[in-house]
Amino acid sequence: MKQASSILTSDELKGDRERKRAQLLSAIGRLEESHEPIARKRVALAEAYFRLAILRDTDPEESLACLQKAIGLDPFHPKLFFHLGRSFHRRGDYGGAVVQYRQALRFAPASHRACVHLALALLELGKSEKEIGRAILDALSRGEEQKLAEHLARLDAFLEAQSPAADGKATAPGARGKSRRPDDEKPSSASPGDSRPSGNATEKGVASACRWQGVWRVALVDHLSGPKLIAKQIDKQLEAGAKPVDGDLRVAEYATALLFLMLSGESPKAIDKMAEGPILKDHSQHPAVRLLRAAVGLAQAESPDLFIELAEKEAADGRLPIEMICVLHYTIYGPGGENPLSDAESLKLLNHYWPEMQELHCFRELRLAILDGYARLAWRDERFEHATLLWREALSLDPFRIAVAHNLALVAARTRSCDDYQPAWNRAAELRYLYAAAAGDLQVMLEERRVMHLSFAQQSRQRYCGQMKPGEGQPSEEALQAWMSDREAIEVWLREWDLYYLNSRVRFRSPVHLLGVPRDASEQAINDARDALLHQIETTLDQQPWAGIKTFCRLSEELVVQASERARDTVERIRDLYYEQEKSEADALTHELIDRGLAWLHRMLVLLAKKVTETAGEAEAASEKAKQTKDPGESEQAARLMARARKVAAQSIPVGCLLARHLFVMPWKLLQPICADRGLIERDADLVGVFESYFIALVSADRSEPENERELSKRLGWLDECQAILPHRFELRLARCQLLMAGKRYDDAYAVALATLPLIADMEDREEADQIENNLVVMIENAAFAAMPESTRQMIEGAGGRARPPESVREIIKEGRSLLERFPHASSFRAFLVFRMIEAGQSKEAIDLLKDGLELALNEEQRASLEKALKEAQEHTRMTGTLEEIKRLLEGASQRVNQAFGEIQPGSSASLQHALEVLRGAIADARRAKDLAAKAGIKDAEQQAAEFIRQLEAAQTKLR
Amino acid sequence: MFIIDLGAPSYYSTLGLSPIASFDEIRTARDQMIKELRDKQSKAATPEEKQKFIDRQTEINAIGETLARPEKRKEYDRANAHLGFFMVQVAAAPLFMEKADRMHVLHRMIKDFLAARGVELRPLSDMDRDDFSADETPIELLDNLLREEKP
């Protein structure tokens, strides 16, 4: 019996490995700088990288990279491909492993070691590959080289049919290098026996023993793992195992093989008998044989309690490991076992184990396995409450067991339990992120996360749009409308697809594919891609309420930033190992992204915009018609259409905002050229501009007056949301002003318009900027007029063309001043007020008001309008003074003349002279008045004065 | 509340299969269904009923055409990932479930158990080893450098 001894402690061994690593790294450095002949240098470097790769503590990624470097230096060495295959094999990339093992065999066709491992990798793949793998093992066991060659040829044909060499890995069809002596046939002290050739040299058609001595165990384990046990095959393997190698009976291996046989369903009695055979009978004290006997004895226990009693004894005596006891218990007494119990009995039985056993991790797994097994049976039988109970108990054993959380969430879905559904799925999702966060590795559970999010997104979409066959066209408008009316379903689709997309991106190892940029992307494009992804992580991932999500986000952000740095490095981009390998997947993901943006999000937004615009337009037209015709029927119809338009807007705008949020975070700067390349859009199209137009049309279509304060608040809330999405689009602010005006919140409308004006200066499109500016100024003007109280308005309108009573004018002025304090920039209103003041004889104050207004003018139009008003006011003031003077002169003259003529006494020359004197004075005044009128251009007054002069002159003539 | 629909129809449910059914199972189920439909078709009382069975056969054939071909099935599964995802998962440790996994886990466990008792159990394959120093090839140039590096 070989003694396993440890000369060095584990720390010392670790130190030894570290030293070896350091030596190798130093040697590599020196070799690379050396001036040795190229061939010698390459071979030595390849070997150095190889030794570094196979060191125990070398990180798997580094090991892979070292082996690939070694292959680059020495591309015909079979062991390099073999170990590369082993690396792939270890990380679960069985397809990759097969390719490398096969390549190793091309260079070392006689290597049974490579054959065995090739077979092992094939056994992990699909049915066809498994068949070939088993055939290879069988041929190896029988020593049939010819058959082995045929199976390898079959494998080659199969691989050729599956995938032409597009995955960047070594496929080397027909590549032939110098065939070397396989390293596994070199005598070695590390693994004696198994790798030593035995038997006769291979001749064509003559069977020879397999040079990999462990093949019988591999073949046996594979067979025992299958669904059906074939006695003949088993016997054959055991027969092979029974043969001594170099005189050494493999007692431990043989005993273990029998143990596996029993665990695969062979009866303990039969195993007991085999253990009495010639191989083991003389080795009853061998620990492996004692282990076997203990297991057989336990398996034959007559009752569960006896089983437990015996198990305790064997464990205490050190003859049986705990794990074996647990496995035996499960296979005998677990669900689907040889002596199955009910779930209650099975769980009760577990409590009969000794206390120390119940504390062990393996026992906890046994309990969990039993709970899970019975829960799955309950699920199958649609006993959902019972399944829930059992899984909840399983969860108490391991709160982080993803499969249990997942199953509980499925039960909640199956039973449509609203209380349990959301928390259960939150937990199932949370755990998938938590594992990655805890491991500090985004790749952990990545595929599950991707599929989970994609599944939810697909479920939502298919609920309304049906199952989409690949390459099928778009769903109908009705289907999309129905889907959009289910707000929750849309939210699920939007959120889950974005999460699926993020996880799909971080999956890529190539930095350009991770970012979603072409290989020759500019630095700007790389930065844009990085920023888009970081933004998406922040808006999508970071918002999730899951434990560990902050850590996950941080890891994602670091990865994205690193990828952008690597993508900027030209050398690294050229050397990108994964670029070709991942290209088709990356392209497919980009295509999906574009499809989502253009064919789904945008299309849905357009549908919503059209619907809202149409219904709002219909309502507006009906209202206009009703106003004109004053027909009650038309009014009723208009009211109905208005209510419908409001309802449509209330349903559509929130959904539109949701869609827009997800549409606008997509990296359109990067996607637009790709869309153009694919012929989806014109090269000079402004995609984002188009999206924005539809979105703005959607939110600003409804111009109706809000029915009440609540509706106003709601619509303002939508506009806020829209503005948050497109803060640079001032049309939304204008729409906000219009809504506030319609809702009679004039001060707010005024304030928003005023606040927006300075921002217009930053707009690039000056024509559009001017238009918006004009609209805002009009809004500001209208706010003051609109805010006028009704009573004041009636005073203004009630006068018609007549002069207003003074008290009305005073009232109007008072109200006007108050409004002007609230809306100081409303220049038209100011002008209106000024003329009322002039009307009331407050010319000076009016002119001062106009001068104040000039300082507050918002634009040139306002300024020009105020200047004109000022001029007019000044002119009016001057005119008024002139008229008053003319009136005074004429009225005064008229009075004096009348008085003088009244005082004329017949025969009194004095009175006559006095009258003439007065007449002369009056004519002079009238002439003065006429001159004043002529100068001022007041024709009426001039004519009046002229007529008066004529009358006075006629009277003068008469008197004379 | 949006709740996923576990009973939504799919190609698999039409054939009465699980999404993880093997290709053989798919072909068998398809053939069985076609056979039953043909029987019904032959016994159909009216031309309309006959046509109904014919249409159904066309549908089943189309489904089989998709699911029985690896590439098409892959596309279908990709477009309907939820079918495979929303299935009950096994929560038990592999030791208790998969035969193959059990063998490998037990093998490792037995190896450690015996090693503690002074017995070496040879690894099943190189997947169970971590010492490959025997695979090193002596290269004079490299070995000389390494000797120089040794303290």
Question: What DSSP element (H or E) covers A669?
Answer: helix A668-677
Q: To the nearest whole number, what is the mean pLDDT of chain B?
A: 89
Residues of A in contact with B13 (CB under 8 A): none
pLDDT digits (tens, 9 = 90+) for A760-793: 887 888 888 888 888 899 989 889 888 988 888 7
Average pLDDT, chain A: 86
Using CA atoms, how far residue A163 sits from A41, A84, A149, A156, A159, in Å, is 35, 20, 21, 11, 6
**Per-residue confidence band for A468, with pLDDT thresholds at 50, 70 and 90:** low
Tokens representing A719 are 């506009």
| B122: chain A residues, CB-CB within 8 Å | 191, 193-194, 214, 250, 252-253
Taking an 8 Å cut-off on Cβ atoms, the answer to whether A414 and B6 are in contact is yes
pLDDT of residue A193: 32
Q: How confident is residue A798, by pLDDT bands cut at 50, 70 and 90?
A: low
What pLDDT does A815 receive?
Answer: 87
Residue B69, chain A, CB below 8 Å: the answer is no
What is the identity of the amino acid at A80? L
Residue A248, classed as helix, strand or coil, is strand
Q: Give the tens place of pLDDT for each residue, A187-243.
A: 333 332 333 333 333 334 445 566 677 788 888 888 888 777 888 888 888 888 887
Better pLDDT: A434 or B150: A434
In this complex, is the C-beta atom of B81 within 8 Å of any C-beta atom belonging to chain A? yes
Cα separation, A702 vs A715, in Å, equals: 10
* Half-sphere exposure at residue A559, Cβ-oriented, CA atoms within 13 angstroms: 25
Query: Please, is B98 exposed, middle or buried when counting C-beta atoms within 10 Å of its C-beta (0-12, 13-18, 19+)?
Result: middle
The pLDDT value given to residue A176: 35
pLDDT for the residue numbered A472:
61
Q: How far apart are the first and last CA of chain B?
A: 71
Distance from CA of A518 to the nearest CA of B (A): 25
Give me the pLDDT at residue A19, please: 87
CA A930 – CA A949 distance, rounded (Å):
9
pLDDT in tens, B64-98: 999 988 889 988 998 888 999 999 999 999 888 87
Joined tokens for residue A59: 């990180």
pLDDT digits (tens, 9 = 90+) for A547-569: 999 999 999 999 999 999 999 99
- pLDDT over 90 (residue A483): yes
- For the stretch A100-129, pLDDT in tens is 999 999 999 999 999 999 999 998 888 788
Question: For A797, what's the count of Cα atoms within 13 Å in the CB-facing half-sphere?
Answer: 7
pLDDT at A324: 92
Does the model's pTM come out above 0.80? no
pLDDT value at A439 more than 70 = yes
Contact A488 B2 (CB under 8 A): yes
Which pLDDT tens digit goes with each residue over A871-907? 888 888 888 888 889 999 999 999 998 998 888 888 8
For A166-178, the pLDDT digits (tens) are: 444 443 333 333 3
B117 to chain A, any CB pair closer than 8 A? The answer is yes
Min mean pLDDT across A134-148, A562-576, A782-796 is at A782-796
pLDDT at B135 over 90: yes
ipTM of the complex in this document? 0.86
Q: What is the dihedral of CA B108, B112, B118, B122, to 10 degrees?
A: 20
* Cα–Cα distance, A916 to A903 (Å, whole number): 12
Q: Given this model, what pLDDT does residue B151 score?
A: 65
- Report CB contact under 8 Å: B81, A458: yes
A803 pLDDT higher than 70: no
pLDDT of A373 strictly over 70: yes
The number of helix segments (H) and strand segments (E) in chain A equals 44, 0
Residues of A in contact with B87 (CB under 8 A): 410
List chain B domain ranges.
Answer: 11-85, 94-149
A84 pLDDT higher than 70 = yes
State the sign of the Cα–Cα–Cα–Cα dihedral A835, A838, A840, A846: positive
- A818 CB within 8 Å of a chain B CB: no
pLDDT in tens, A706-762: 888 998 999 999 899 899 999 888 888 888 998 999 889 999 999 999 999 888 887
Residues of chain A with pLDDT > 70: what percent?
92
Read off the pLDDT band of B56 (50, 70, 90): very high
Amino acid in position A725: I
User: Per CATH, which fold does B11-85 belong to?
Assistant: Helix Hairpins (1.10.287)
Q: What is the pLDDT of residue B95?
A: 87
pLDDT (tens digit, 9 = 90+) per residue, A331-372? 899 898 877 788 899 999 999 999 999 999 999 999 999 999
Spatial contact of A300 and B62, defined as CB atoms under 8 Å apart = no
Interface contact flag, B89 A403, Cβ < 8 Å: yes
